[in-house]
A = this chain, B = another copy of it.
Amino acid sequence: MRHALELGEVYRLLEPGPVVLLTTVRRGKPNVMTMSWHMMVEFEPPLVACVVSSNDFSFAALTATKACVIAVPGVELAEKVVAVGNCSGREVDKFATLGLTPVTEEGVVPPLVGECFANLACRVVETRLVRQFNLFVLEVTQAWAEPGWETRKTIHHKGWGVFAVDGGLIRLESKMP
Residues of A within 8 A of B (CB): 9, 11-12, 15-18, 34, 36-42, 47, 49-51, 75, 78-79, 82, 85-86, 126, 128-129, 132-135, 137, 150, 153-177
| Majority-rule SS of A interface residues | mixed
Q: How far is the CA of A85 from the CA of B71 in the complex (A)?
A: 29
Return the chain B residue nearest A176 by Cβ: B85
Question: Which chain B residues border A134 with CB–CB below 8 Å?
Answer: 41
Evaluate whether A167 and B165 lie within 8 angstroms (CB atoms) in the complex, with A15-B157, A174-B160 already known: yes
CB atoms of A16 and B15 under 8 A apart: no
Given contacts A51-B39, A166-B166, whether A175 and B137 have CB atoms under 8 Å apart is: no
Q: How far is the CA of A18 from the CA of B39 in the complex (A)?
A: 11
Smallest CB gap from A173: residue in B: B161
- Are B137's CB and A159's CB within 8 A? no
Q: Contacts A39-B51, A40-B51, A166-B166 hold; do A176 and B156 have CB atoms under 8 A apart?
A: no
Instruction: Select from chain B the residue with minimum beta-carbon distance to A38.
Output: B39
Contacting residues, chain B, for A16 (C-beta < 8 A):
17, 156-158, 164
Give chain B nearest CB distance to A89 CB in angstroms.
15
CA distance A50 to B155 in the complex (A): 21
CA distance A155 to B167 in the complex (A): 10
A18-B17, A86-B175, A129-B128 known; A158-B167 Cβ under 8 A: no
Contacts A41-B134, A49-B49, A82-B174 aside, 19 further interface pairs with beta carbons under 8 A come to A12-B158, A17-B17, A17-B156, A36-B40, A38-B39, A39-B51, A86-B173, A86-B176, A126-B129, A126-B132, A155-B170, A156-B156, A157-B176, A158-B169, A161-B171, A161-B172, A162-B171, A165-B168, A165-B169
